Amino acid sequence: MQRPKLLTLCAIGTAAACATALAGCSSADDATETADTYTWWDPYPQHEDSSGWAERVNACGEEAGVAIERTAYDTTALTNQALLAAQENASPDVILLDNPAVSTLADTGMLTTMDEFGFDTSEFDENLLAAGVLDGSAYGIPIGANTLALYYNQEILDDAGVDPESITDWASLTEALEEVTGAGHDGITFSGIGTEEGSFQFLPWFWGSGADLGELDSPDAVEALELWTGWLDEGHAPNSVITNSQNTVWEEFLTGDFAFAENGTWQVDSAAGADFPVGVIPLPGRDGGVAPTPTGGEFIVAPVQSDDARYEVTARIVECMTTPEGLVDTATTFAYYVPPTTAGQEALLTDNEELEPWVDAVRNAKGRTSDDLGTDYPLISEALWGAVQNALSGSMDAEEALAQAQTEAEAATD
């Protein structure tokens, strides 16, 4: 197969990042690879060799009749090391990769398409698969997805006389915030920090207005940003949202002071252990319905191998990870990923009915690199989070901030 020439590693990272990536994988480079050993890289260094996750990976190797040599890196080092390994014709057989990075690697020509790999993607939800699609071809498959919804403190809502089921659009949510703050409680907390986390948390409101990432300064986009700034102006949200990470948001919510917090699937277990009853509702669209939320989570990708006979065994490893049962195992291991197939979602809900709001959210979710944004997405996102910062801080109004962001995005992606 003819491939475009690989991009250089430092096209997406600093020299320091390159050095870090090199240092982080010396054990993998030194390992002796045999015909019945397949290499696997993932972004989970917190899961050691004795962990349930490592056992799952090894079990899939055993099912395919091979040994798995697993190496874990942090997310940034993994992307950098993958690019370097491709340049040296030393790519692993399997990489588990943060979904926005799939297009970055695919753009270099270092990944097989799923068609070339011989893997059927038809059972995977199209909205989740889209994060790994570039120029019409799928370059990976999701092992699951996490996303955002609105957690609420039932005690506060009861005290304020707010029925969470009455919150169906922006107007009803703002009305609920007025009732809550009028009863002496704090309203809503979210992450507006000047990083990807800020864009991630703003996107449900951006997309929920009908806005498109190709036009950051549309009237719909302005209305979404004005929703956030209006909440600050009215005292429904704290000024801390300007610097809040998603972890900080959750810490604020667990104090019991806030009625609502925008946060993710990964807080399900923590919510169950809170000192007050916690519920979940989908993030509403401006005019009703469930707003599209951005997907988090990893994709399995198959780097190009000089010996393409290896793909047959690699496909068996991937298939083991993505059966309905395998997807549920992953979901519970990471508490919680929502499986990316209907069969997997139904299997998850069989024993976890309380996760239904999250399954609904994932079914309505959208990949950040969807709409064929590919490698343009990080550049657009940076302009967007800058606009959010400018508006929340009061240095610009929403319309001015987004107009500047659109100019910056166009210049960066030309």
pLDDT in tens, 155-200: 999 999 999 999 999 999 999 999 999 999 999 999 999 999 999 9
What is the residue extent of each domain of the chain? 11-145+296-363, 148-294+373-413
Rg (Cα) of the chain, in Å, rounded?
Answer: 22
* Long-range CB pairs of 15-22, under 8 A, 24+ apart, other chains included: 17/76, 17/77, 17/80, 18/80, 18/84, 20/77, 20/80, 21/73, 21/77, 21/80, 21/81, 21/84, 22/81, 22/84
What is the overall mean pLDDT for the chain?
89
Domain 148-294+373-413 has CATH 3.90.870.10: no
The contacts of residue 137 (CB under 8 Å, 6+ apart) are 106, 113, 114, 115
pLDDT at 160: 98
Q: How far apart are CA 397 and CA 226, in angstroms?
A: 8
Query: 32 pLDDT band (50/70/90 cuts)?
Result: very low
Q: How far apart are CA 64 and CA 56, in angstroms?
A: 13
pLDDT at 23: 37
Beta strands 186-189 and 258-264 are: parallel
Read off the pLDDT of each residue in 92-110 and give the average, rounded to a whole number.
93
pLDDT in tens, 309-331: 999 999 999 999 988 888 998 88
pLDDT at 30: 39
pLDDT at 349: 94
What DSSP assignment string belongs to 85-114? HHHTT---SEEEEEGGGHHHHHHTT-B--H
- The whole model's pTM is what? 0.82
Share of the chain above pLDDT 90, in %: 75
Query: 370 pLDDT band (50/70/90 cuts)?
Result: confident
The yes-or-no answer to whether 11-145+296-363 and 148-294+373-413 have a common fold is yes
pLDDT in tens, 71-80: 999 888 999 9
Looking at CATH, the fold of the domain delimited by 11-145+296-363 is given as: D-Maltodextrin-Binding Protein; domain 2 (3.40.190)
Does 401 have pLDDT greater than 50? yes
pLDDT at 58: 95
pLDDT at 175: 98
Residue indicated by tokens 């057989």: 93
Does 46 have pLDDT greater than 70? yes
Alpha helices by DSSP H, listed for 132-265, are 154-160, 170-182, 196-208, 219-233, 246-254
Going by C-alpha positions, the residue among 339, 369, 340 that lies closest to residue 104 is 369
pLDDT at 332: 83
